[in-house]
Amino acid sequence: MYLMRNGAIEELTPAADTGSLHDEAMTTLGENLERLEDAIGAACRAAGRARADVGLMAVSKTFPAETIAEAASLGLTLFGENRVQEYATKALRAAGLWTSAVPQRPRVHLIGHLQSNKSAKAAELFDGVDTLDSVRLAERLDEAAGRLGKRLPVLIEVKLSTEETKAGVEPESDEIERLLDRLPDLGSLEMCGLMTIAPWGAPEDVTRACFRSLRELRDRWAPAHPKLHFDVLSMGMSCDFGLAIAEGATRIRVGTALFGKRKPQTVVE
């Protein structure tokens, strides 16, 4: 993994993922975070934006609870997980690792595709669901959050790639119109904005066009739906967050650049 730093390309050192809180792992993660912050700052300056305008989500999927605790001790407060079952197995351990060194309990959002039959568990486990893509899922999440006495932040995932593996609601579909019309009536959900994933390995102009499209959709939908909030534009990952920042991202989702190469996914849902 490479990042731009002080005008030069540098290779990031992979963070250890052994699950222990030893000094070497902490040092490596801290160094990676410093490099990443340099790169985010440079991207913000190039785009004429303030660093405070771009939130950082640390994507901790496949890494153990100890890694989340390490990252939280360095000041990271928002994490992304891909699978309900995977996070369920480490949620209790993660909660037990928060210490006085962590100023506030980190928030963990679901950023992977959510099947509606897992909505109750997702509403219980996560502090937000960033992959809302249907009225059916919205209604189930609202019902589940209501039973918990919880107001659940959500982002609508918009599909702006032709890749079949990409999830999300089509931007010109009837479903997105129904969803935007229905959300104001779902009192246990807090609509916060939009999310997308750019095509993997696409040329820079294609990636930028994807991110630009999400911003333009936000600009079109927000005035038409004044009861909803569109403050968050979640787009950009380790390989393309600079382009996302240039196109208006308010939140980037970074995993590899922080934690190193992931282990193969073994959880089946």
Answer whether 0.85 is exceeded by the pTM.
Answer: yes
Architecture label for domain 53-259? Alpha-Beta Barrel (3.20)
DSSP state of 82: S
Enumerate the domain spans of the chain. 53-259
Helices (H) and strands (E) in the chain, counts: 9, 10
pLDDT digits over 129-188, tens only? 999 999 999 999 999 999 999 999 999 999 998 777 778 999 999 999 999 999 999 999
SS3 98: coil
pLDDT digits over 7-66, tens only? 333 444 444 444 444 444 556 899 999 999 999 999 999 999 999 999 999 999 999 988
- The region that residue 246 occupies, defined by phi over 0 for left and psi between -120 and 50 for alpha, beta otherwise, is alpha
Can you spell out the DSSP letters for 172-204? TSHHHHHHHHHGGG-TTEEEEEEE--PPTT--H
Tokens linked to 168 = 């999300």
205-224 as b/e, with b when 16 or more CB fall inside 10 Å?
eebbbbbbbbbebbeebeee
